[in-house]
Amino acid sequence: MINFKELANEHKTPLYIYDLDYMTKQYGDLKDAFKGRKSIMAYAVKSNSNLSIVKHFADLGSGADCVSIGEVRRAFLAGVPAYKIIFSGVGKSDDEIREAIEKDILYINVESEAELGRVELIAKELNSTSRISIRVNPNIDPQTHPYISTGLHDNKFGVELDTAKRMYIRANNSQYLDPVGIHFHIGSQLTELKPIYESAEIVADLVRSLSNIKIELKFFDIGGGLGVKYDDEITIAPYDYAQAILGTLKGLDLTVICEPGRFLTANAGYFLTKVLYEKQNGAKRFVVVDGAMNDLLRPSLYNAYHKIEVITDSESELSKADVVGPVCESGDFFAKDYQLPVLEHNDLLVVHSAGAYGFGMGSNYNTRGRSAEVALEDGKARLIRKRENFEDLIALEKDLLV
């Protein structure tokens, strides 16, 4: 049982809280689901990039799926070995590609023919060979929110099958490229098994086609995206997920790479915010809290649902209210028409399922310092990121003021 009042008193609000024991369990469940097949879990750093979180998974044996050179650097700082680091993303700069090659990571995940050309050219300049994977877009509808769909031709990610095959032939013929893997990721918050299976089948068939022309790959990267329960979603069991993937790989000697993020961290996280006051505009009730969209953007960006737990002495009847923050935007809300009791100044609200795409998507909009972050492990709490203050926010500006 988490003592939210105690944490609020010690660390103030707004505050992010992460249950590391829950993350450990989720990691173990997913890793166990792939037993019997060579596999690497590569934590998707973008879901929660706090160094202590990345280190926690590294200590469990995880690699890291990174989508910027900054995330690659975080992975190294957190103790992830180079041979377990993958660098993905549609728009890598030359400097990022160069650094990734120099750091000798497992592979660069290439997303276009133009990018393949840049990687080859930079590897040549470095007189090196770059291991690469190619991200294939299987054109399968993931049946998820359009903003987090990545496996259709309408999405910016990956390349179609014919293009991928042409890229593999080019890479295989280049002395500066070493094609070692194939990758697909059709979207986030996946709750249907069929699109995952269909995508894996398409990509596995491409691997067989490449093998027929003597291009032998080592890694079958299935991405991440396994959905979690925010409200009443029916989610996929890790075992069923693994079996759907593995069922497409018969006869193929490949190491499976899985890139979980949200599945590991979302329901391990809580966002704690304090009630400032209530407000009534005609028939409309508002609960104004000290947290805002700059702290937790998902409700504003996706209209995402998060369960809200109330910590109060109030025993009043429930009525609908919008939970809103101080940011000067009508889009600054955590919930609309949410059933809540009458709340008083300093009552606490706990926003659940905030461990993924929470702090990391935060900003300093309205010159607001980002919240502190606390980790819970074996019943003990420890600070893993200090709260930003005003001096932190202006540190890169004040010496340039003229």
Q: Do the annotations mark residue 107 as ligand-binding?
A: no
Which 8-state DSSP code applies to residue 277?
E
Residue type, 87: F
Q: Do the annotations mark residue 233 as ligand-binding?
A: no
Helix (H, G, I), strand (E, B) or coil at 167: helix
Q: Do the annotations mark residue 368 as ligand-binding?
A: no
Element (DSSP H or E) covering residue 182:
strand 177-183
- The token duo for 95 is 């400097």
Q: Do the annotations mark residue 91 as ligand-binding?
A: no
Active site residue 258: no
In degrees rounded to 5, what are phi and psi of residue 243?
A: -65, -35
Q: Do the annotations mark residue 131 as ligand-binding?
A: no
* Cα distances (Å, whole numbers) of residue 223 to 75, 109, 183, 270, 294: 17, 11, 7, 25, 28
Q: From the CB of residue 378, how many other CB atoms can be counted at a distance below 10 Å?
A: 6
**Residue at token pair 């013929």:** 173
Q: Do the annotations mark residue 166 as ligand-binding?
A: no
Q: Do the annotations mark residue 225 as ligand-binding?
A: yes
Q: Do the annotations mark residue 261 as ligand-binding?
A: yes
Task: Kindly report the three-state secondary structure assignment for every residue of 114-158.
Answer: HHHHHHHHHHHHCCCCEEEEEEECCCCCCCCCHHHECCCCCCCCC
Helix (H, G, I), strand (E, B) or coil at 41: strand
Q: Are 151 and 184 in contact (CB under 8 A)?
A: yes
Residue of 1, 283, 328, 396 marked catalytic: 328
Q: Which residues of 205-241 are buried (b: 16+ CB within 10 A; e: fewer)?
A: ebbeebeeeebebbbbbbbbbbbbebeeeebbebeeb
Q: How many whole angstroms separate alpha carbon 106 and alpha carbon 108?
A: 7
Q: Do the annotations mark residue 73 as ligand-binding?
A: no
Nearest to 333 by CA among 382, 300, 364: 300
Residue positions annotated with a catalytic role: 328
Annotated binding site: 225, 259-262, 298, 302, 329, 357
Annotated binding site for pyridoxal 5'-phosphate: 225, 259-262, 357
Annotated binding site for substrate: 262, 298, 302, 329, 357
